[in-house]
Amino acid sequence: MINHIVIVPVILPLLFGILLLLLQNYSIQVKRILSITAVIVQIVAVTTLLNIVSSGEILTYALGNWMPPFGIVLVADRLAVWMLLIATLVSLCALGYAVRGTDAAGQHFHVLFQLQLFGLNGAFLTGDLFNLFVFFEILLLASYSLLLHGGGRLKTKAGLHFVVINLVGSTMFLFAVGILYGLLGTLNMADLAVKVANTTPENVALIRVAGLLLFSVFALKAALLPLYLWLPSAYTYTTAAVAALFAIMSKVGAYCILRVYTLIFGAQAGPAANLIEAWLLPLALATLIIGILGVLASTHLRQQVAYLVVASIGTLLIGFGLNTPAGIAAGLFYLPHSTFAAAAFFLLADTIAKRRDEMKDKFEPGPVIAHKRLFGVLFFMVAVLAAGLPPLSGFIGKFMILQAALPHPALPWILAIVLITSLFTLIAMARSGSMLFYRAMPANYCKIGPDREVPPTAMALGKELVSIVGLLLLSVALLIWGGTITEFTMATANQLLQPDDYIQSVLGTGVIP
């Protein structure tokens, strides 16, 4: 009976999505309450799962009771549940911001939001490569529509690029899946791991091709260096709440890289062992550099945050690219931090942009914003978080990654690039902060219309900021429970690098009662 908890994070958003679609003529308040309830129930379910899997147990759920490797199987191990927890927490905060008004700009915001969660949660839980493709498509189709939510020329342009590049990515995914099935006759990831390790020599070249094709698809989703160009404009022009949700979407690519290249093409994969080891670390370092150059060159705050997301993917994959337990554990600690920080930053940039009249979030002197001290403090905190300065969680994440890199032969490169880019982030943050808050002019010097918005009441302001503060508190929680979380991520990394447990618990499953 207990096993059914595994499917709850997948089935729940689907059911709520359908329910919200049926209730489309009801008032927006009803939809908001339902949508938030759905996310909270998911968080409860995921926390329950976390309690079970943190002991090291791996739960499997055979859909329709078709036994793996023939049926589709959902697998909840430490990594999957950790990603689920981060995704549901971020989506609660994004939703908390969206219900302030952005959700009313289109009819189906909440439906799409739940379906996006359906795709995300499914992608984290599935143990089947083709099923992963299907969940990718679900989350992408929802994200295409969410990206365009609210309409506007710039959104359409960014959306078109995003859709086309992802459709090409999906085609590549299918080619890779086809090659693997044609050679090995299975798509179950655990079964693939066994079959890749015992493959015959004449298949090795094609299997490596398929593995690298898959890597290019995941690199596209994660926005790794040559394939990152879709991210900045997509994340810059979409609505803030959606951008905050998308902060977890680019981490799906990083998750898939970690999962597939430790399980199927990991150290035990025989002829295809450590397939991407030579690629991942250099590409991650280059992504970090490009991301920071974008941060420095940005002309407005949202764009700067979008490039910070690119840079954080670089840092994260440096951790994964080290291919050691310590490196992966550090990456898994940095992952929630970077997600929370990016989401908080997107939301904060939007609240600031709303208060600067026609200057929006451009880095040009604008009017003095209402509640400037409050926003200044929030900006300072988020900037410290993003730049990775002590005492907040960004510092610990980066420190852990550097510490894990100490025995690595490429240490000088990693140290130099991570530290110099941190310095540049700091410079960029200081520059944008001083432009937004210090070089502001009193209202009567600015060309502003008479219809200047009245500053909101404390109550309205509190509601607006609750999500940002929530995300900041989550980062602080990462700091306070840092010891426990580090132990957990270390255990996760060890579990990932010894995939025998995963393989045994999938292929040796008994019938679910």
Partner 1 sequence: MEALVSIIIGVLTSCGVYLTLRGHTFPVVLGLTFLSYAVNLFLLVMGRLTIGSPPIIAEGMSGYADPLPQALVLTAIVISFAMTAFVIVLALKAHLEMGNDHVDGKHKS
**Under 8 Å CB-to-CB from 92, ≥6 apart: which residues?**
36, 39, 40, 43, 470
- For partner 1, give the closer residue by CB, 211 or 388: 211
CB of 473 to partner 1, least distance (A): 38
| SS3 state at 360 | coil
CA nearest 150: which of 240, 233, 231? 240
Question: Which amino acid, 166?
Answer: N
Residues in the chain: 513
- For partner 1, give the closer residue by CB, 114 or 233: 233
- For partner 1, give the closer residue by CB, 130 or 399: 130
Q: Structure tokens of 108?
A: 């189906």
Q: Structure tokens of 453?
A: 């918005």
Distance of CA 437 to the CA centre of its chain: 30
- For partner 1, give the closer residue by CB, 186 or 262: 186
CB of 127 to partner 1, least distance (A): 16
CB of 436 to partner 1, least distance (A): 29
CA nearest 176: which of 139, 142, 219, 118? 219
CA nearest 321: which of 215, 419, 205? 215
Angle between helices 129-148 and 240-263 (to 10 degrees): 170
- For partner 1, give the closer residue by CB, 242 or 258: 242
CB of 242 to partner 1, least distance (A): 16
For the chain, the 3-state helix, strand and coil shares in percent, each to the nearest 5, are 75, 5, 20
CB of 414 to partner 1, least distance (A): 36
- For partner 1, give the closer residue by CB, 246 or 333: 246
Return residues touching partner 1 (CB under 8 A).
130, 134, 137, 141, 144, 148, 153, 156-157, 159-161, 163-164, 167-168, 170-171, 174-175, 177-179, 181-182
Q: Structure tokens of 256?
A: 């898939």
Q: Structure tokens of 185?
A: 């006759």
Which H or E run includes 3?
A: none
